[in-house]
Amino acid sequence: MPGGFGVGVRASRYSVAARVSQVPARGSAHPIRSLWYQVYLPNLTVATGQGAMLPVLVYAARAVHSTGAEAGVLVALNGFGTVLFDLPAGRITARFGERRSMYASTVMLVAGLVGCVVARSFWVLALGVTVQAAGWALWSLVRMVHLSRVAPPLVRGRALSLFGGVIRAGNVIGPFAFVGAAGSSDVRAGFVIYLGCVIVGTIWLVLARDRHDSGATEARAVRAHPLQVLSEHRRTFATAGVGALGVSLLRGSRTAIVPLWASHIGLDAGQAATIFALSSVVDLALFYPSGILSDRRGRRAVLLPCMALLSIGHLLVPLAHSYLALFLAAFVLGFGNGLGSGIVMTLGADLTPAVGRASFLAVWRLFSDGGTTAGPLVDSAVVGLGAVALAGPVMGVIGLGTTLVVALWLHEPAPAPGPGGGPALAPRRSGPTDPGPGVPDG
């Protein structure tokens, strides 16, 4: 069976000595605990602001006298702005380093959100939303590059699933923050809350930054063109990349398929929102257990069940003709989504080379963000053809197909080199032709 990652060893073959060398000494701080102040809490702050903005985008469009179609375009721009800026974000991070790129992302977020607050026309509002989405793409990439570099390899799954979990938590807390601050009186308050969270989160990161972390202040890094990255790591993106794209496609579809079908069977908006909220609670509850499973049993033990459950959930949706039946289908979707919390970022962190980290992760994020954006578009296309009952099965079949590809071709990745530049875990060689971790495919 071909080595999907260009790494001829599985995680289970790491030498015991290498694993022991990575275990913190007794009495030392837990390897994840130190990340809370420097990574998780600042990101929770910014994600909370984003969560306050997302529910009001449609209403903000209506506030500037936009049509329903224009309101839909505005929501889509929030996703497309992120996707379109993924690759430039990689170039910026590689050129200027993490710290200065973080400042640049803050400037973009602030500029975009100020534009949204003062907008009195659809076009100004659309420009503001696009600029803040590009800023979010850069902010997210910088944080992912940083965490993939500093997270200890033996707890990397937990570290990155927790990172995904705090973003989920922020998106749950954000709407409540908006309701508590403004009720429904002023939709622009959602942008103001996001703006305040960005400023607080950036100040927090500046104060919490480790002054001895030379990697965060490095001005220049090796930059590679996206086509070069795809060429050098073509087997990686043809296997793990398919997995990342498949998971993201199903996740993006999940946010659209439940309300679409709820409306089709005659449920009102409150019932649809309750179903989705309860599904999200299940999703949120699983993010840390999924990280433990990923670290202890390997990435496949998380990725394959995640993709399978999301696919099955989509297949169950058109069979649901009552509130309870749709809730059960949404429960399966939420369980599958929660089980895969952080798995796409974890795989990206495992596979990224120590040299050219930002360029690789930019292409990796393009796969995942592209899938998240494309999922609802596929659903909309099927519904637009008058076949709403086929939207779930179409996505389910696509999901099961990508699950099969990943199951057949994806080998357990060896973690990429650690912060010091050396191998994070030394694999046990099985032959003279086995390439080491981080060696480009092909």
- pLDDT in the model for residue 391: 86
Mention every residue, 6+ apart, whose C-beta is less than 8 A from residue 228: none
Residue 120 — left, alpha, or beta (φ > 0 → left; ψ -120 to 50 → alpha)? alpha
CA distance 89 to 135: 9
- pLDDT in the model for residue 222: 57
Residues 105/138, Cβ–Cβ less than 8 Å = yes
Residue linked to tokens 């393009």: 366
What sign for the dihedral angle of Cα 376, 137, 244, 279?
A: negative
Residues 172/55, Cβ–Cβ less than 8 Å = no
- pLDDT in the model for residue 240: 85
- pLDDT in the model for residue 132: 95
Local mean pLDDT, 10-residue blocks, the chain (442 residues): 37 36 43 78 91 81 78 78 88 87 95 95 94 93 84 81 84 80 74 94 83 46 72 86 89 82 79 76 84 87 93 94 92 91 86 81 86 81 82 92 87 51 36 35 34
Length of the chain measured in residues = 442
CA distance 357 to 347: 13
Domains of the chain by residue range:
33-210+223-409
Does the domain at residues 33-210+223-409 carry the CATH identifier 1.10.10.10? Answer: no
CA distance 19 to 436: 16
Helix ranges restricted to H, 119-188: 122-150, 156-182
Name the token pair of 187: 């939709």
User: How many other CB atoms are there within 10 angstroms of residue 152's CB atom?
Assistant: 20
Residues 352/361, Cβ–Cβ less than 8 Å = yes
| Cross-strand bridge partners of residue 297 | none
Residue linked to tokens 């002054």: 211
- pLDDT in the model for residue 148: 80
- pLDDT in the model for residue 192: 93
Residue linked to tokens 């919490």: 208
pTM above 0.75, yes or no: no
